[in-house]
């Protein structure tokens, strides 16, 4: 490489800046691009939101960290992209004229998808092991996500894959057959960090996976294929499955499960088959609590705050937890320990257009009733707007799900993963009830408490549920017990 070419490379590297998909949650490995707010040629500035993405936890807006003009949008809306993959290229000096042709040399800090190479070329050991990951998704292997079709490149001025310039077209590589994911000399099987994590989660040894990616790289599809058991061969005499009638298929609507809905489904399956659930029920007269709700609505100290039955159910639950702190715990599988929490992060299950999410109120047990009301109002409003951040959904210890708003009496709720208990609050309605020796119409509801039997035995769970019901039956206990 001549000195002039090196200078051109440096200039173009500084001019064209790539913005990579960040890890906007806690160890998330991918996100779907929901909407682009900019197009090629648009001017952008540092801190300007350029797109909205959906992770497995929430929808998040991404701001660009530099000024310039949009040179390229790498992916279309609706595409799921690995964390650490460049999604947008910005020309930081749009008035500097056409870019000079330059080759980009990947370094240890930046990942560029490699150009196609002849099949006989082998990756060097440095590419397999020497790269240091600074963000989940960075590595030597190309992204497993699908790119939209690129425009045909012709002539000496055609841009290269990273927008820095053009290079003569390389001869088409020979088709590479699938090969076992054997490690390069002195290294491991070639795979990106998200793929390695997927293999680890599924208990798959990467060395045993047949790689179909470029240069023997293991892809997500390879790992899933290795994890899928081979179905036994059907007997030759087995009748063929009847095809679905065309009129039946025309009346079926198929919705891809991804983002929040996919994460929720996976979490519920993991919770249901990991934590041994026990659910107990109690039906309680909440007439006095409903009367207190009406009084609080006119209280000057609660002016402008959201006051409803859920607020007092949450306060009653927190009082019960304070009386029985052992219920507020977590199971540490790695160390075989029960971890008791001296803080209560109270989750509130919220139905949103993207699916069920469970943001939580941090240190809810330490809040006064007005503070709890304000936090609950903010949580619900943010969830309805689809602006709940991953941090607001992390670290929960117990949860309340208000199934009563749908007219449901009760249910058997499934634990939010990592939490010890979840309380279902059913609908409140007038029912005949024996009160002071006489049958009278009273406001009645049913509570259901599911808990992790590894952490909470029957006695402890029963006491927590009974105390919650007792506070709601006689809300003056908020003072005497609280």
Q: What are the domain boundaries of the chain?
A: 3-108, 179-223, 259-480
Show Cβ contacts of residue 5 under 8 Å, excluding neighbours closer than 6 positions. 102, 103
What is the pLDDT averaged over residues 387-401?
A: 91
Strand partners, 444: 285, 429
Strand partners, 82: 30
Q: Where are the strands (E) in 55-197, listed by range?
A: 59-63, 68-73, 80-82, 86-91, 179-180
CATH number of 3-108: 2.40.50.100
**Residue 41 carries which DSSP code?**
T
Measured distance CA(419)–CA(329) in Å, rounded: 7
What's the mean per-residue pLDDT of the chain? 78
Measured distance CA(277)–CA(274) in Å, rounded: 9
CB 428 within 8 A of CB 443: yes
Q: What is the pLDDT of residue 26?
A: 61
Q: Above pLDDT 90, what percent of the chain?
A: 44
Cα angle: 294, vertex 300, 304; to 5 degrees: 80
CB 165 within 8 A of CB 57: no
Q: What is the pLDDT of residue 27?
A: 64
On the question of pLDDT at 229 being above 70, the answer is no
Measured distance CA(318)–CA(322) in Å, rounded: 6
On the question of pLDDT at 355 being above 90, the answer is no
- The pLDDT-based confidence of 111 (bands split at 50, 70, 90) is very low
Q: What is the pLDDT of residue 465?
A: 98
What are 195-208's pLDDT values in tens digits?
A: 777 777 777 887 88
- The pLDDT-based confidence of 101 (bands split at 50, 70, 90) is very low
Catalytic residue among 224, 324, 453, 474: 453
On the question of pLDDT at 366 being above 70, the answer is yes
CB 35 within 8 A of CB 43: no
CB 23 within 8 A of CB 30: no
Q: What is this structure's pTM?
A: 0.56
- The pLDDT-based confidence of 189 (bands split at 50, 70, 90) is confident
453 catalytic per annotation: yes
CATH of 179-223, one of 1.10.340.30, 4.10.320.10, 1.10.3720.10, 2.60.40.10: 4.10.320.10
Q: Above pLDDT 70, what percent of the chain?
A: 73
What is the pLDDT averaged over residues 105-126?
A: 38
- The pLDDT-based confidence of 29 (bands split at 50, 70, 90) is confident
On the question of pLDDT at 349 being above 80, the answer is yes
- The pLDDT-based confidence of 228 (bands split at 50, 70, 90) is low
CATH of 259-480, one of 2.40.110.10, 3.30.365.10, 3.30.559.10, 3.30.70.20: 3.30.559.10
Q: What is the pLDDT of residue 159?
A: 40
CB 220 within 8 A of CB 160: no
Tokens representing residue 395 in the block: 């670290």
**46, 311, 384, 410 from 402: Cα distances, Å:** 42, 11, 15, 9
**Residue 128 carries which DSSP code?**
I
DSSP three-state, residue 90: strand
């Amino acid at each position: 490489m001549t000195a002039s070419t090196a200078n051109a490379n440096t200039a173009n590297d500084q001019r064209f800046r790539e913005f990579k998909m960040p890890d906007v949650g806690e160890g998330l490995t991918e996100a779907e691009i929901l909407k682009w707010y900019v197009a090629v040629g648009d001017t952008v500035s540092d801190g300007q939101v350029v797109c909205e993405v959906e992770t497995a936890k929430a929808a998040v807006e991404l701001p660009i960290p530099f000024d310039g003009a949009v040179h390229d949008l790498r992916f279309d809306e609706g595409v799921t992209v690995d964390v650490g993959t460049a999604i947008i290229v910005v020309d930081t000096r749009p008035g500097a004229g056409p870019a000079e042709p330059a080759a980009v040399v990947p370094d240890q800090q930046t990942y560029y998808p490699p150009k196609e190479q002849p099949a006989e070329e082998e990756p060097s050991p440095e590419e397999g092991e020497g790269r240091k990951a600074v963000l989940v998704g960075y590595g030597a292997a190309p992204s497993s996500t699908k790119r939209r079709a690129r425009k045909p490149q012709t002539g000496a001025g055609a841009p290269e894959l990273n927008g820095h310039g053009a290079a003569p077209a390389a001869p088409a590589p020979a088709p590479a057959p699938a090969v076992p994911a054997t490690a390069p000399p002195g290294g491991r099987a070639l795979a990106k960090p998200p793929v390695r994590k997927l293999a680890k989660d599924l208990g798959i040894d990467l060395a045993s996976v047949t790689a179909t990616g470029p240069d023997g790289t293991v892809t997500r599809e390879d790992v899933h294929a290795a994890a899928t058991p081979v179905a036994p061969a059907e007997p030759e005499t087995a009748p063929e499955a009847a095809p679905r009638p065309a009129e039946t298929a025309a009346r079926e609507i198929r919705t891809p499960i991804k983002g929040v809905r996919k994460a929720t489904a996976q979490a519920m399956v993991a919770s249901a088959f990991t934590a041994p659930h026990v659910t107990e029920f109690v039906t309680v007269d909440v007439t006095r609590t409903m009367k207190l709700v009406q009084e609080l609505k006119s209280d000057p100290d609660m002016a402008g705050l959201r006051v409803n039955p859920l607020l007092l159910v949450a306060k009653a639950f927190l009082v019960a937890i304070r009386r029985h702190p052992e219920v507020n715990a977590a199971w540490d599988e790695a160390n075989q320990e029960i971890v008791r929490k001296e803080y209560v992060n109270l989750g509130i299950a919220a139905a949103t257009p993207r699916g069920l999410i469970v943001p939580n109120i941090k240190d809810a047990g330490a809040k006064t009733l007005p503070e709890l009301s304000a936090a609950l109002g903010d949580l619900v409003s943010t969830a309805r707007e689809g602006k709940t951040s991953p941090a607001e959904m992390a670290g929960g210890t117990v949860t309340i799900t208000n199934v009563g708003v749908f007219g449901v009496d009760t249910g058997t709720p499934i634990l939010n993963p990592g939490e010890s208990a979840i309380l279902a609050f059913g609908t409140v309605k007038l029912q005949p009830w024996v009160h002071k020796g006489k049958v009278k119409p009273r406001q009645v509801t049913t509570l259901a408490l599911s808990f992790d039997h590894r952490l909470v035995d029957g006695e402890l769970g029963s006491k927590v549920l009974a105390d919650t019901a007792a506070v709601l039956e006689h809300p003056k206990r908020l003072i005497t017990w609280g």
